[in-house]
Amino acid sequence: MTTNYNLAGAIHRHGLHTPDAVAVAYKGQSISYRELAQRAARLAQELRRSEHWQAHDGQPPRVGILASRGIDACVALLGTCWAGATYVPIGLKLPEERILTILSLCKLTAIVADADGAKLLGERLRAACPPVLTCSANDAMGEEIDSIAPAGQALLADLADAPAPMAGSDVAYIIFTSGTTGIPKGVMISAAAARHYAQMITRVLDLRASDRALETCELTFDFSVHNMFSTWEAGAALHILPATLVMNAVKFARNAKLTVWNSVPSLVGMLRQVKTLHADSLEDLRVTVFGGEALPESTVAAWRVAAPNTAIHNLYGPTEATVFCLGQAVAEDTAITAGRDFVAIGTPLPGNEAMIVDGNHQAVPGGDSGELAIAGVQLADGYLNDPQMTAARFPTINGKRWYLTGDLASVDASGVFHCLGRIDNQVKVLGYRVELEEIDAHLRAVSGIDLVAAVAWPTVDGMARGIVGFLGAIAVDSVQVIRDLKARLPAYMVPNQLIALETVPLNQSGKVDRQALRRLLDQDPA
Amino acid sequence: MNVDGKLKLRKFLKEALEKHGDQGELSDSESLFVSGRLDSFSMMQLVMQLEEAFGLDFSTVDFDVSLIDSLDEIAAFVDANASA
């Protein structure tokens, strides 16, 4: 029997075996595995009924998910999976220009929107969109907005019908990340990679059906893939943190008696700063996953005081290797990366391999630093419509396909990997990947000034909290430039402030010296 | 909160909004964070600013965004909690 790699398989399985268990909880409402499976199956039926439903060059149809966090967003995503399609999350907070770019890159067959997503669709977007279905708990099948045929009788789907078969090579999702040229890159993850990840990480973390796990991320951040699919693989309950309660995440977790915490480390840094992280406040937590950014030693120390009974896992990985591909449980004697006060990123997780290479893709001798390369079942198929970039970043080395992460790293004597920074100008802002050159490109375009540079600043606990833009000019209309940038870039890429400099410092190769600009800010915080 | 304090607060909030490219009006009762006009990073900066300017200690309060979601709420919160 051929394996069905459909990610919705776990929902179907638990829908049959533990139908009444809570699958998702949000703002006082919850949905059981049975209901979630039924709603996903019905949405899938509706999607497949569309006359536009068709494969792309042997790949499944693509469906955009225009939804904020919540139960409806989970249904939208799982209904898409259930139908056997590739899901493409589109951030609700993205500016219209960015959404239009993504739409033009993807050739979507349909879009599934929740109530917030549907509201967002202005005329201009609607004109560029494929048919849109809304997916709302109040109207389970969704009002028909566009050309998809009306739902007809509101039949509850029969759970005897399994999710549509997906081959391992079918693309499960496409997530867009920042691209240096100014155009976002669509990372294509196969169903085999995604399913392996969900099953592997659930085993590694020993997640159980009795767990109650925290979701802190938007669907556009691939950390959400971990949160959702590891929780559902285990048959556990996903508790989604409402956006307005971010600073009260600890109280939220305590009230909901959460047992699994998933977040970027900088969330804990912010909780410490607003003083909502109290000693012994999270006694029910037994598993903590920190990922998406370097983990400061000080965050671990503070976390142990707040959550005395939890194992802490530091997980590392680029979107191109399916969420997390290296990691380790943090113990008292866990290696700290020298000079950086960050916890080491550990060893390859099952199914993954890692090595350090030099500029010629040759493995470097033990202990030396170089670029971290990843291989194994979790590697992405590559970048959407960009074979050149795919070939450059996913080279074949000694007969095996690798992904070059752009992270500078080394391996210590016990085989543990340490991340030492970037070999390029990529930074992480609150866990989101940002190519500073991409901001430069947009800064240049909206300001008309050639000499520009974005730097990540300020940094707290070594992690970037925002972006500052520099322009080689005597004066600049900051408010206007920022407003123009907001129309083009996601909020986390928009500078918090702009500084006009008559003389912009250059390095020896004649490029803008970002280090010098950062030092300028450190000396004289504006 | 006295007039001076409220002016200082308004200035801080207007600046934070402008950094987000938002030059809109700000009424005393308007929602700042729940409405999404300001993000959680600005919230954190506001908390730090309030601690510094008014001698507040957030570790002693049961923090909730509704405590500081508008100018009026911030003023009431400061009045109730500021150290003399």
Q: What is the pLDDT along chain B (84 residues), one digit of tens a residue?
A: 788 888 888 888 888 787 766 778 888 999 998 887 887 778 888 888 888 888 888 888 888 888 899 999 999 998 888 764
Instruction: Answer yes or no: is pLDDT of A137 > 80.
Output: no
Tell me the pLDDT of chain A averaged across its residues.
90
* Pairwise CB contact (< 8 Å): B21 & A276: no
What pLDDT score was predicted for residue A504? 86
Whole-number Å distance between alpha carbons of A388 and A185: 12
Between A80 and B23, whose confidence is greater? A80
pLDDT score for A153: 35
Cβ distance A300 to A318 under 8 Å?
no
Per-residue pLDDT tens digits for A178-193 = 888 888 999 999 999 9
B19 in contact with chain A, both atoms CB, cutoff 8 A: yes
Residues 20-39 of B with CB under 8 A from A: 20-21, 23, 33-34, 36, 39
Cβ–Cβ below 8 Å for A486 and B21: yes
CATH class of A9-145: alpha beta
**A502-516 tens-digit pLDDT:** 888 888 777 889 989
Question: How large is the average pLDDT for residues A476-492?
Answer: 89
Which residues in chain A have their CB less than 8 angstroms from residue B34's CB? 244
Using a CB-CB cut-off of 8 Å, the residues of chain B touching A241 are: none
Secondary structure letter of residue B28 according to DSSP: T
Give the distance from residue B63's alpha carbon to the nearest chain A alpha carbon, in angstroms. Answer: 7
Please report the pLDDT score of residue B52 as a whole number: 81
What DSSP element (H or E) covers A230?
helix A223-233
Q: Which residues of A touch B37 (CB under 8 A)?
A: none
Q: Which residues pair with A238 in a beta bridge?
A: A24, A213
Is A139's pLDDT higher than 80? no
Q: What digits encode the pLDDT tens for the residues A52-75?
A: 888 878 899 999 999 988 999 999
B19/A496 Cβ within 8 A: yes
- Domains identified in chain B, total number: 1
Q: In the predicted model, what is the mean pLDDT of residues A22-26?
A: 98
Q: Are strands A311-316 and A287-291 parallel, antiparallel or unpaired?
A: parallel
- CB–CB of B20 and A482 under 8 A? yes
Would you say A434 and A467 are in contact if contact means Cβ atoms under 8 Å apart?
A: yes
- Start-to-end C-alpha separation, chain A: 64
Q: Which tokens hold the place of A447?
A: 């300001």
Q: What is the pLDDT of residue A141?
A: 44
Predicted local distance difference test score (pLDDT) of residue B6: 84
User: Does residue A497 sit at the B interface (CB-CB below 8 Å)?
Assistant: yes
How confident is the model at residue A526, as a pLDDT?
A: 53
Interface test with A, best of B22, B44, B81 (most A CBs within 10 A): B44
Q: Are A274 and B47 a contacting pair at CB < 8 A?
A: yes
pLDDT at A240 over 80: yes
In chain A, residues with a C-beta closer than 8 Å to the C-beta of B43 are: 247, 274
Residue type, A37: A
Flag whether pLDDT at A497 surpasses 80: yes
What is the pLDDT confidence band of residue A354, given thresholds at 50, 70 and 90? Answer: very high
Of B21, B33, B41, Cβ closest to residue A482: B21
Instruction: Give me the percent of chain A exceeding a pLDDT of 90.
Output: 68
Dump pLDDT digits (tens) for A309-320.
999 999 999 999
Running DSSP on this structure, what letter comes out for residue A59?
Answer: B
| A91 confidence band (pLDDT: 50, 70, 90) | confident
Q: What is the pLDDT of residue A29?
A: 96
Which among A479, A91, A430, A176 is positioned nearest to B39, based on CA atoms?
Answer: A430
Residue A270 contacts B where some CB pair is shorter than 8 Å: yes
**Dist CA A250 CA B34 (whole Å):** 18
Mark yes or no for CB contact A497/B64 under 8 Å. Answer: no
The b-or-e profile of A188-207 (16+ CB within 10 A means b, else e) is bbbbbbbbbbbbbbbebbeb
> Residue B24's closest chain A neighbor by CA?
A479
Contact, A462 vs A456, CB < 8 A? Answer: no
Q: ∠ at Cα A412 (A410, A415), nearest 5°?
A: 100
User: Is B58 an 8 Å CB contact of chain A?
Assistant: yes
- Around A245, how many Cα atoms within 13 Å sit in the side-chain half-sphere? 18
pLDDT (average), residues A26-46: 95
Chain A partners of B48 at a C-beta cutoff of 8 Å? 273
**Cα(A499)–Cα(A518) distance, integer angstroms:** 12
The percent of chain A in helix, strand and coil, each rounded to the nearest 5, is 30, 25, 40
Radius of gyration, CA atoms only, chain A = 23
For residue A33, what pLDDT band results from cuts at 50, 70 and 90?
very high
Residues 415-444 of A with CB under 8 A from B: 430
In a domain, B56, yes or no: yes
Does residue B8 lie within any of the structural domains?
yes
Question: Residue A244 is nearest to which of B34, B57, B58, comparing CB atoms?
Answer: B34
Burial classification of residue B53, based on how many CB atoms lie within 10 Å of its CB (0-12 exposed, 13-18 middle, 19 or more buried): middle
Using a CB-CB cut-off of 8 Å, the residues of chain B touching A496 are 19
A142: phi then psi, degrees, rounded to nearest 5: 90, 135
Question: How far does B44 lie from chain A, in Å, by closest CA?
Answer: 6
Minimal CA separation from A258 to chain B, in Å: 19
Which residues on chain B are in Cβ contact (under 8 Å) with A274?
Answer: 43-44, 47, 58, 63
Mean pLDDT, range A74-85, rounded to an integer? 97
Q: Is A272 on the interface with B (CB under 8 A)?
A: no
Q: Is the pLDDT of residue A157 over 90?
A: no
Do A491 and B39 make contact, defined as CB atoms within 8 angstroms?
yes
- Which phi and psi angles does A238 have, rounded to 5°? -95, 120
Indicate the DSSP class of residue A112: E
The confidence score (pLDDT) of residue A524 equals 74
A273/B contact by beta carbon, under 8 A:
yes
Angle between helix A265-273 and helix B40-54 axes, rounded to 10 deg: 30
Quote the distance between the C-alpha of residue B18 and its chain's center.
Answer: 15
A247 touches chain B (CB under 8 A): yes
Decide: helix, strand or coil at residue A3: coil
- State whether A485 and B18 contact (CB < 8 Å): no
Q: CA nearest A465 in B: which residue?
A: B41
The answer to whether B47 faces chain A, any CB pair under 8 Å, is: yes
Q: Which residue is associated with the tokens 């030693």?
A: A297
Q: Are the folds of A9-145 and A206-316 the same? A: yes
Query: Nearest C-alpha of chain B: how many angstroms from A246?
Result: 7
Predicted local confidence at residue A492, as pLDDT: 87
A275 with B58: Cβ contact below 8 A:
yes
The tens digit of pLDDT for each residue in A262-317 reads 999 989 988 988 888 999 999 999 999 999 999 999 999 999 999 999 999 999 99
Q: How far is B17 from chain A (nearest CA, A)?
A: 10
Residue of B nearest to A273 (CA): B44
Flag if B20 and A274 touch (Cβ within 8 Å): no
Q: Which is more confident, B36 or A376?
A: A376
Could you tell me which of A122, A121, A114 has the C-alpha nearest to residue A142?
Answer: A114
What top-level class would CATH report for the domain A206-316? alpha beta
Q: Say whether pLDDT at A488 is over 80.
A: yes
Q: What pLDDT score was predicted for residue A160?
A: 67
Report how far residue A35's alpha carbon sits from residue B84's, in angstroms, rounded to the nearest whole number: 55
Q: Are strands A497-501 and A467-472 parallel, antiparallel or unpaired?
A: parallel
Q: How confident is the model at residue A442 (pLDDT cuts 50, 70, 90)?
A: very high
Nearest CA in chain B to A244: B34
Buried b (16+ CB within 10 A) or exposed e, B20-33: bbbeeebeeeebbb
User: For residue A149, what pLDDT is reported?
Assistant: 33
Q: Is the pLDDT of residue A470 over 80?
A: yes
pTM for the full predicted model: 0.88
Mean pLDDT of A91-111: 89
How many other CB atoms are found less than 10 A from the CB of residue A22?
17
Q: Per mean pLDDT, which of A206-210, A364-368, B30-34 is the most reliable?
A: A206-210
Domain span at B14:
3-18+32-81
The partner residue sitting opposite B63, judged by closest CB among A248, A478, A491, is: A248
Helices A223-233 & A9-17, crossing angle to 10 degrees? 30
Residue ranges per domain, chain A?
A: 9-145, 206-316, 426-523
> For the domain A426-523, what is the CATH superfamily, name and number?
ANL, C-terminal domain (3.30.300.30)
Q: Smallest Cβ distance to A276: which of B21, B48, B63?
A: B63
Sign of CA dihedral A226, A350, A296, A211: positive
